Each structure stands twice: as C-alpha cells, then as structure tokens.
Structure 1
Amino acid sequence: MWRVQPKNTALLVIDMQNDFVLEGYPMEVPMARRRIPEMQKVITGCREAGIPVIYTQHILLDTFDVSPLESTYNPALLTAGMRGGTFGAQVVDALAPEPEDVVVQKHRYDAFHNTRLESVLAGISGLRQVDTVIIIGTLTEVCCDSTARGAYMRDFKVAFVSDATGARSDAAQKATEETMGTFFGRVLKSGELVAEIRESESREGRAA
C-alpha cells in the first residue's frame, strides 16, 4: 500500500466556510465545527512538512442561479448561503488561509469540476509532482466525497482524514469512510496521517 510522501502531496481543505461552520448559519454542520482542532493538526503538520495547502470555497450567486439542481434540492439556497464576497463565504478564522496558500472557488460539490484545481495541482510543487491529495473539511458525504472521487478518477491517491471531516450525521460519516476506504483511497485519523508524514520526512532525511 502506498504511503503519504510530502514532496508528492497537497492538502485540500474543503469548504470550511462560516456558512457551513458557525452556529446558526445557513448550512451549519456541527460536526465540522467540533472537528476544527483535528483539522488544525493536519494543516499544521502539512505546513511543517512543506505540503502545499489548498482551500476550496463553495460559492453561489445572487445575480443568477449558478447551481440550479443544488437549489432545487435545497430551496433555501435561493436566498441565503455561500454568496461570493460575504462573511458567510469566507473560511473560518480558526483555519484561515496563509498568504502562500491557494483558494479555489467552485460551484459544484466536486472541487475539480470546472475549476482551476487540477491545473494548480499540476504545478504547485513542480511539474506534475503531486500525485496524492489529503482531504479534510465538510460535508464529508457531499463535497469531500465528491472531490475524493474526482481526484481518484484523475489518478490521484486519496488520503481521507476521518476525524478531520465533518458530516451531517454519524451514520453518513461512517458510510462515507467505509466507501472511501474500500474503493477510493486510504482512510486515516489525523494523528496517523501526521505521524506518517513525519516518518516519511525522516526517511527522506536519512536517505539524503
């Protein structure tokens, strides 16, 4: 089984926006809020290892319905949530991007769909050096799942961090983890992931 190699890896922080995280906001996901400490652990571990950090923002528009099927299934989105340029669309302060990070806006669940994400991954660590993505964020069963599948379909190895992704329910979290681990990648806890990154760094240091 493959292992996470920092020089070939990028971290994707999926949709950890105020509208998804803060209490009382339109798309609130309490599990995502509770798991911020584990997400911080992953982000810190990746930064220390030189792994690039890429954030996604799910963005809707007031000028026209840019994601019509999404709003069909959730009509509340026609009038509220994830509007570009608003406080709700911003990444939560606890996980705020650093100046060197990349932020990718998207209009569909899959962060690869009609975005610049694939082009960013193709060059962010040198030409086509990234072959592995780590996925954290929310919703586990929607945007994290869809992006993991999109990565897999493009031949990226997927490390899905179970305690640093947040679903709407424990059942949805468990079902997604089982599917991810069976068909689309590896499912790791945040501590396991960080330990693997550090072990890989140490091994590379000894080899040098």
Structure 2
Amino acid sequence: MNTHNTALLLIGFQNDYFAPNGILHGIVEESSKVTNALSNTIHLLDCLEPTSVLIVETPIFFTSSYEEMVDPIGILKTIKEVGAFQAGTEGSKTIEELNRFKHRILRVPGKRGFNAFVNTNLNEILQQHAIENIVLAGTVTSVCIDSTGRSAHEQGYQVTILSDCTSARTVFEQSFYCENIFPLYANVVTHTELLSQLALSP
C-alpha cells in the first residue's frame, strides 16, 4: 500500500447522521462517541491532505418524493418515513467539519442505497487513478460500509476498513463487524495504523 494507489472513501458524512440535530443522528450517536469516528477521520484527513491519496465522498440523496425507492425496507424505509437525505435540505449536506478539505475531496454523486458502486461512476474513477487499495470510513458500519467493502473486494480491490473512523447502530454491532465480519474480506486497522502503513507520521 502506498499513497499513489490508495483511495479513501468517505461514506455518510452528512448532517442527517453526524449533526447533533440530524434526523438520524441517534442511530449512530453512541457508536460514534465510543470510536471517536468524526475526530479520528478529521485527523486522518489532516495527515492525508498533502499526499497523493485520492479522497472520495459518496453522498446519498433522494428527491422529496423518494421516487427512486421501490418498496423500500429496513433502513431505507426508515429514511423515507422520517424524510432524511432529501436533496437540497440541510440534512443532506456534507458536515461542516469536512468543508476545509473540499479542495481535496472528489465528490461522486448518485448513491441511492447501501453500495457506493451502484448507480455511480466510482469504479471508473478509481480505475482512472490506478487505485488498488480502498480505505473505508463513515457510517453505517453494518450497512453502507459493509456493502461497499464487499463490492470493492469482489471487484479486485484490496480493502481496508478503519475501526475508529466508522460508526454502527450500536457499540456491540461495531465491535462484531470489526472483529468477525470485516476480517473475512478486508484488513481492519485504526487510522493511526493506516498512516503507519502509508509511511506517514500519525
């Protein structure tokens, strides 16, 4: 792994999840506090900013009528019921903490579900940049992080998931996925361990 062939994917860093008044903030609040996901991600971005690591954000948006959804179930049904991630709303915006990195973050729109590769040109962008290693940060650990990580693995990428930059619905779920699920197809490390692997100072 080196900075030239590595991409960091930022998933779910939007107000509806991470802002205190976000519609779905309560879903990841406990886990986020335990892992310090947001502060660790900001520290990681500070360290990666001057490097050649490709930093990509894959926000999720829906129209006000949620016409993109067909018979949604589970968390997607909840998103529709509570009116989260509507395009143009404050809740759908990228969190303020990432604004100072926007010159380094490549935004890839089109995500409508769990997997950041579906309905986007993410794979084409990664191939254009000769990316071999994908690092995942964000939320929700058991849904979008897992779905995107599995897809990346199946497409031939080496996948790394950051245990201290991801948030689940519960603390138990976070630990369970990092200890039992992710190791089946990915490397699981902290953001400081990643920086060491990239030969960058934590």
Fold match by TM threshold 0.5: yes
| Shorter-chain TM-score range | 0.7 to 0.9
1:94 maps to amino acid: E
Q: Give the total of aligned pairs.
A: 192
Q: 98, 102, 108: which is aligned to 1:104?
A: 108
Deviates further, 76-85 or 5-14: 76-85
Deviation at 1:78, TM superposition (A): 3.7
Change (3 A) 1:187 1:72: closer
Kindly indicate whether residue 161 of structure 2 is the aligned counterpart of residue 164 of structure 1: no
Deviation at 1:71, TM superposition (A): 5.3
Change (3 A) 1:70 1:38: farther
What is aligned with 2:51? 49
Q: Which runs of 4+ in 1 moved over 4 A?
A: none
2:106 maps to amino acid: V
Change (3 A) 1:76 1:143: closer
What is aligned with 1:174? 175
1:93 maps to amino acid: E
Tell me the distance in 2 between the aligned counterparts of 1:14 and 1:185. Answer: 17
1:51 maps to amino acid: V
Structure 1 residue matching 2:56: 3-state secondary structure: strand
Tell me the distance in 2 between the aligned counterparts of 1:69 and 1:39. Answer: 34
Deviation at 1:119, TM superposition (A): 1.1
Kindly indicate whether residue 121 of structure 2 is the aligned counterpart of residue 116 of structure 1: yes
Tell me the distance in 2 between the aligned counterparts of 1:5 and 1:195. Answer: 11
Tell me the distance in 1 between the aligned counterparts of 2:79 and 2:155. Answer: 33
Tell me the distance in 2 between the aligned counterparts of 1:108 and 1:76. Answer: 11
Change (3 A) 1:7 1:172: same
The equivalences for 1:55-204 within 5 A come to 55-70=57-72, 74-75=77-78, 77-78=80-81, 80-96=83-99, 97-105=101-109, 106-123=111-128, 125=129, 129-177=130-178, 178-181=180-183, 183-198=184-199
Indicate conservation of the 8 Å contact 2:56/2:108, yes or no: yes
Indicate conservation of the 8 Å contact 1:19/1:88, yes or no: yes
Change (3 A) 1:174 1:101: same
Encode CA deviations 1:142-185: one digit per residue, 9 max, x unaligned.
1111110110111110010000001111111112112111x111
Q: Which runs of 5+ in 1 are unaligned?
A: 202-208
Q: 7, 11, 14: which is aligned to 1:10?
A: 7
Change (3 A) 1:56 1:108: same
Deviation at 1:76, TM superposition (A): 5.3
Structure 2 residue matching 1:57: 3-state secondary structure: coil
1:168 maps to amino acid: R
Identity of aligned residues (%): 22
2:9 maps to amino acid: L
Change (3 A) 1:76 1:51: closer
Deviation at 1:102, TM superposition (A): 1.3
Whichever of the two has the greater Rg, that structure is 1
